[in-house]
A and B are shown apart, each in its own frame.
Chain A
Amino acid sequence: MSDITTPNQTTQNETAPTSGPNWQAATAQLAQLRNTVNRLLIGQENVVDQVMVALLASGHVLLEGVPGLGKTLLVRALANCFSGNFRRIQFTPDLMPADVTGHAIYHMAESRFEVRRGPVFTNLLLADEINRAPAKTQAALLEVMQEKQVTIDGEALPTPRPFMVLATQNPIEQEGTYPLPEAELDRFLLKVLIDFPSLDAELRLAAAASSGRIDRQLEQPLPGQLTIEQLRQLQALVPRVALDQQVLSYAVRLVRATRESSQLRRAAGPRASIGLLQAARANALLAGREFALPDDVKAMAIPVMRHRVGLSPDMEIDGETPDSVLAQIIDSVEAPRL
């Protein structure tokens, strides 16, 4: 018999939880949120699901895709779904760390230092083309992403909750860019790849965008918009999703398998295991389940690990991608056995 790691251990004879959170209401709210975003960002259902998983798991997302696939629209739609603040920073080569986090300035009239908070003090932060800024500026995000606070002039200032960074980067333009350091990459819960929509989706997208419907919807508050409090409650539900010992073991075995593979130069660390479990739980919640399945772990394994691993040179020469190598590694790990 396996253990189950949930704060309120349910008895095995009951057919439904008799106490605790209202899972059904949460499921309904999430379904509405998802539908709303999908109506705005047409044809990217998988991307929306993964971004919502990250939002629920209080993680950050690195979005990668060619220009014009709606990365900014996604973030705006997401911010519009709950009554949170949204800020955007366009990363440029001359951007300074203080431009991101804020700084202390001497107030002449009052003869004191005044802290000017940077754009990171928001609920949703879009770091557009993050790899265009030098490492010094990218490092300004390290503290705020991990600790959710900014230290200015020796004073730690917490960011509003929920706080989520969505960074975008362009995979094809490499001229004048600075690759993200591994410590920075590790702080993103998921790396989401945005690909071109299907024909049907693009037809609907083109019709909606050309008629101005999307812009109109973004300007007015959406029906069923969540409050910040509701979102925080949903986030609080994620750790309460039941996780069997076998599923936990499966997630850890998946992450550890990357360390034994000769195809990888850089393997995923323990933060990947933690992130994978968080993402799996959020995925289960998004699917309307109060328990996580091995399928949740499997579905989240590639988005969680693809930016945390580095391919060996011969794999790169062979044209393999982190996704294809990870898929091979996942297929080599046995699913949970009971």
Chain B
Amino acid sequence: MDLNRLAVRARLRSPWESIDLGVALARRQWWPLFVVWLLPAALVFGATSVWLWDSPSLAIFLVWWLKPVYDRLPLFIASRTLFGESVSVAGALRQFPRQNLRDWFAWLTWRRLSPTRAFDMPVTLLEQSSGAARSARINVLHRKHASAATWLTVTGAHVEMFLSLALMALIYLFIPEQVEIDWLPFLASGELWLQWALNGLYLLVMAAVAPFYIVSGFALYIGRRIELEAWDIEIQFRNLRQRHQRTEKQSARTVVAQLLLLCVLGLATMAPSGSVRAEAPRTPEAARESVDQILSGDDFHRREKVDGWRLKDTEKQEDEFPEWMINFIEWLESLGQDDDREDEPSSYGSLGPLIGGLIELLLWGGAIALVLYLLWQFRDPLRQGLRLRRRPKAPPKAAPETLFGLDVRRSSLPADVCAEVLRLWRAGDQRGGLGLLYRATLSHLIERYQFEFGDHLTESECAQLVSLRQQPADGGADEDMRPVSGTLATFVQNLTAAWQQIAYAHRAPASARLEQLCGQWQEVFADAH
């Protein structure tokens, strides 16, 4: 197989383009192809007409079934022609037994109904492969062109049918009108000679279509091989090599001439001959440099100026994998590696350990998250079960400075609250005195018991809050807050009642009552002094 003698241009073709090329080739040498197909078929037809005269249908079926036998000679001629050899009809016919030796049984039995016969036949005939090698080859070839090859067979069958009908119609058209034939009984009679005539017509049609079918399948096969084996590139390289060899010869001649000239001009100068062969590097390194140089030249670049808007170039570091991510992935892979079988190559490819490591990491993460969630969900029962108490908040919250318009800061209070209260009371400022006592009480409650009295709470509600914290066992009080004593709660209730009386009813309590309240105040906040 000499690619240099390829009769068609070696280039990538689509399957339909290849079939088109096949049709064009078949047209160019249709006659010899037709003859070499028809002669063996006609022989078989003649033989069947002798032996099976009574059953013309069986006879034509036999002829039809043996199509792969007749297909080989047209294919032989087409393949030779493609590579520049001319094969005469007689020469081809002489090849008939030899061409039919290989795989004839397979082609006449299980491969007979193959829809890709024309495409597969060259594998048998030209590559001469069989068995597993043939199967592998067919698989590779079919990967892309099987569909087109099938459609070629379907189309060929239809063309045969149309041509048969057309031929019959043509004959009918040529019958003179004067010849009156009663068609229905004529056709229904099933005369043997009529059937044999139709068989003959069909044989001619098959022989006429066969070259197109066979050569189209062959062209499809060649197209696939050009694609697979890069014939086009190989041919280009061969051309390149030939051109190079030609230039080399020319430069060699030039060198001889220059050397002679140098000798003539005088050896005394001892001038170096120069790198006259620089364009023909000999070493691979030099060749590679030369190739790089040429590739970077203008011939291999297309430069064009395009105007338009685009985003500014930003740092594209995210495109590169950071070092930590590579380490992380390697660590993941190491997680997934089976320690016992480190030496064996993984059967799952390189992704196996990575995926395994990822799943292991996710499972561990899920388990830890589940444990944390359960701990958080059941924190209260756990704390109670372990008899743990939340640590008291070390830094006391910043106490509010004013409440109900009262300054409840400790600093705003006098050193001795009770003395000041009694002094005010005796001086006639009863409201001021009781107000001071109430303010001091609130201030101590806020600072020492961390009460949070909202602005919307009334005095009664504040007193109620104090009472609620009195008994932690009732569940009404917050366990984390310091509980108040029953005395303090009662005192707050009494003081609030007295304060409401003076504030809203403008009715002052008796002096003895105030003194009693002062005494209770000193008692409940005794450690404040």
> In the complex, which residues of chain A have a beta carbon less than 8 angstroms from the beta carbon of B435?
338
The stretch of B68-76, B224-232, B456-464 in contact with A is: B456-464
The stretch of B236-244, B250-258, B289-297, B506-514 in contact with A is: B506-514
Q: How far is the CA of A290 from the CA of B507 in the complex (A)?
A: 11
> In the complex, which residues of chain A have a beta carbon less than 8 angstroms from the beta carbon of B430?
12-13
> CB distance B404 to A330 under 8 Å?
no
Q: How far is the CA of A335 from the CA of B460 in the complex (A)?
A: 11
> CB distance B455 to A290 under 8 Å?
no
Shortest Cβ distance from A225 into chain B, in angstroms? 31
- Contacting residue for B504 out of A12, A291, A333, A337, CB 8 A: A291
A-B contact count (CB 8 A): 75
The stretch of A24-32, A51-59, A77-85, A292-300 in contact with B is: A292-300
> CB distance A335 to B406 under 8 Å?
no
Q: Encode B493-528 as 1/0 by CB contact (under 8 A) with A.
A: 000000011111111111000000000000000000
> In the complex, which residues of chain A have a beta carbon less than 8 angstroms from the beta carbon of B406?
337-338
> CB distance B509 to A12 under 8 Å?
no
> CB distance B504 to A15 under 8 Å?
no
With an 8 A cutoff between CB atoms, is B405 at the interface? yes
> CB distance B405 to A338 under 8 Å?
yes
Q: How far is the CA of A289 from the CA of B500 in the complex (A)?
A: 11
- Contacting residue for A335 out of B456, B500, B501, B505, CB 8 A: B456
With an 8 A cutoff between CB atoms, is B431 at the interface? yes
> In the complex, which residues of chain A have a beta carbon less than 8 angstroms from the beta carbon of B404?
335-338
Q: Chain B: which residue is nearest A333 at the CB level?
A: B456
Shortest Cβ distance from B492 into chain A, in angstroms? 15
Q: How far is the CA of A162 from the CA of B489 in the complex (A)?
A: 43
Q: How far is the CA of A289 from the CA of B430 in the complex (A)?
A: 21
> CB distance A244 to B504 under 8 Å?
yes
With an 8 A cutoff between CB atoms, is A247 at the interface? yes
Shortest Cβ distance from B199 into chain A, in angstroms? 88
> CB distance A15 to B500 under 8 Å?
no
With an 8 A cutoff between CB atoms, is A111 at the interface? no
Shortest Cβ distance from A176 into chain B, in angstroms? 42
- Contacting residue for B503 out of A13, A330, A338, CB 8 A: A338
With an 8 A cutoff between CB atoms, is A320 at the interface? no
Q: Chain B: which residue is nearest A242 at the CB level?
A: B505
> CB distance B506 to A242 under 8 Å?
yes
Check A293/B458 contact, CB under 8 A, given A12-B431, A335-B404, A337-B406: yes
- Contacting residue for B505 out of A13, A290, A295, CB 8 A: A290
> In the complex, which residues of chain B have a beta carbon less than 8 angstroms from the beta carbon of A289?
505
With an 8 A cutoff between CB atoms, is B454 at the interface? yes
- Contacting residue for A13 out of B405, B460, B501, B508, CB 8 A: B508
Q: How far is the CA of A271 from the CA of B69 in the complex (A)?
A: 114
> CB distance A331 to B506 under 8 Å?
no
With an 8 A cutoff between CB atoms, is A4 at the interface? yes
With an 8 A cutoff between CB atoms, is A198 at the interface? no
> CB distance A335 to B457 under 8 Å?
yes
> CB distance B503 to A10 under 8 Å?
no
Most central of B461, B500, B507 by chain A CB within 10 Å: B507
- Contacting residue for A1 out of B431, B455, B459, CB 8 A: B431
> In the complex, which residues of chain B have a beta carbon less than 8 angstroms from the beta carbon of A333?
456
Check A10/B507 contact, CB under 8 A, given A1-B431, A335-B404: yes
> In the complex, which residues of chain B have a beta carbon less than 8 angstroms from the beta carbon of A13?
430, 508
Q: How far is the CA of A337 from the CA of B500 in the complex (A)?
A: 12
With an 8 A cutoff between CB atoms, is A19 at the interface? no
Q: Chain A: which residue is nearest B404 at the CB level?
A: A337
Q: Encode A322-338 as 1/0 by CB contact (under 8 A) with B.
A: 00000000111111111
Shortest Cβ distance from B406 into chain A, in angstroms? 7
> CB distance A295 to B458 under 8 Å?
yes
> In the complex, which residues of chain B have a beta carbon less than 8 angstroms from the beta carbon of A16?
507
Shortest Cβ distance from A194 into chain B, in angstroms? 26
Q: Encode B120-131 as 1/0 by CB contact (under 8 A) with A.
A: 000000000000
With an 8 A cutoff between CB atoms, is A110 at the interface? no
> CB distance A298 to B506 under 8 Å?
no
Q: How far is the CA of A333 from the CA of B406 in the complex (A)?
A: 17
Shortest Cβ distance from A272 into chain B, in angstroms? 19
> CB distance A295 to B507 under 8 Å?
no
> CB distance A242 to B504 under 8 Å?
yes
Shortest Cβ distance from B375 into chain A, in angstroms? 34
B residues contacting the other copy or chain, number (CB 8 A)? 25
Q: How far is the CA of A126 from the CA of B500 in the complex (A)?
A: 38
- Contacting residue for B508 out of A12, A244, A334, CB 8 A: A12
> In the complex, which residues of chain B have a beta carbon less than 8 angstroms from the beta carbon of A14?
507
> CB distance B454 to A4 under 8 Å?
no
Q: How far is the CA of A291 from the CA of B501 in the complex (A)?
A: 8
Q: How far is the CA of A338 from the CA of B459 in the complex (A)?
A: 11
Q: Encode B380-420 as 1/0 by CB contact (under 8 A) with A.
A: 00000000000000000000000011100000000000000
Shortest Cβ distance from B511 into chain A, in angstroms? 10
Q: Chain B: which residue is nearest A298 at the CB level?
A: B458
Shortest Cβ distance from A20 into chain B, in angstroms? 13
Q: How far is the CA of A337 from the CA of B456 in the complex (A)?
A: 10
Shortest Cβ distance from A3 into chain B, in angstroms? 9
Please report which residues of chain A, range 1-46, place their CB below 8 angstroms from some CB of chain B when the two chains form the complex. Answer: 1-2, 4, 10, 12-16
> In the complex, which residues of chain A have a beta carbon less than 8 angstroms from the beta carbon of B459?
293-294, 335
Please report which residues of chain A, range 104-125, place their CB below 8 angstroms from some CB of chain B when the two chains form the complex. Answer: none
Q: How far is the CA of A77 from the CA of B502 in the complex (A)?
A: 38
> In the complex, which residues of chain B have a beta carbon less than 8 angstroms from the beta carbon of A247?
504
Q: How far is the CA of A333 from the CA of B454 in the complex (A)?
A: 10
Q: Encode A266-296 as 1/0 by CB contact (under 8 A) with B.
A: 0000000000000000000000011111110
Shortest Cβ distance from B317 into chain A, in angstroms? 47
Q: How far is the CA of A70 from the CA of B430 in the complex (A)?
A: 50
Shortest Cβ distance from A9 into chain B, in angstroms? 8
Q: How far is the CA of A273 from the CA of B456 in the complex (A)?
A: 18
> In the complex, which residues of chain B have a beta carbon less than 8 angstroms from the beta carbon of A2?
503, 506
> CB distance A291 to B505 under 8 Å?
yes
Q: How far is the CA of A294 from the CA of B508 in the complex (A)?
A: 18
Q: How far is the CA of A20 from the CA of B502 in the complex (A)?
A: 19
Q: Encode A290-316 as 1/0 by CB contact (under 8 A) with B.
A: 111111001000000000000000000
- Contacting residue for A294 out of B405, B458, B502, CB 8 A: B458
- Contacting residue for B500 out of A4, A12, A293, A331, CB 8 A: A293
> In the complex, which residues of chain A have a beta carbon less than 8 angstroms from the beta carbon of B510?
15
- Contacting residue for B405 out of A10, A242, A244, A337, CB 8 A: A337
- Contacting residue for B456 out of A1, A12, A290, A334, CB 8 A: A334
> CB distance B458 to A12 under 8 Å?
no
> CB distance B456 to A244 under 8 Å?
no
- Contacting residue for A295 out of B431, B460, B501, B508, CB 8 A: B460
> In the complex, which residues of chain A have a beta carbon less than 8 angstroms from the beta carbon of B502?
12
> In the complex, which residues of chain A have a beta carbon less than 8 angstroms from the beta carbon of B503?
2, 244, 246, 338
Q: How far is the CA of A334 from the CA of B505 in the complex (A)?
A: 20
Q: How far is the CA of A317 from the CA of B431 in the complex (A)?
A: 49
Check A332/B456 contact, CB under 8 A, given A12-B431, A15-B509, A338-B405: yes
> In the complex, which residues of chain B have a beta carbon less than 8 angstroms from the beta carbon of A331?
454, 456
Q: Which 5 A-B pairs have the closest CB atoms?
A: A337-B405, A291-B505, A337-B404, A294-B458, A334-B455
13 contacts between A and B (CB under 8 A): A1-B431, A2-B503, A10-B505, A10-B506, A13-B430, A15-B507, A16-B507, A242-B506, A244-B506, A291-B504, A293-B460, A335-B456, A338-B503
B residues whose Cβ falls under 8 Å from a Cβ of A: 404-406, 430-431, 435, 454-461, 500-510
A residues whose Cβ falls under 8 Å from a Cβ of B: 1-2, 4, 10, 12-16, 242, 244, 246-247, 289-295, 298, 330-338
Apart from A2-B503, A12-B430, A337-B405, list 5 A-B contacts with CB within 8 A: A12-B506, A15-B507, A292-B504, A334-B455, A338-B435
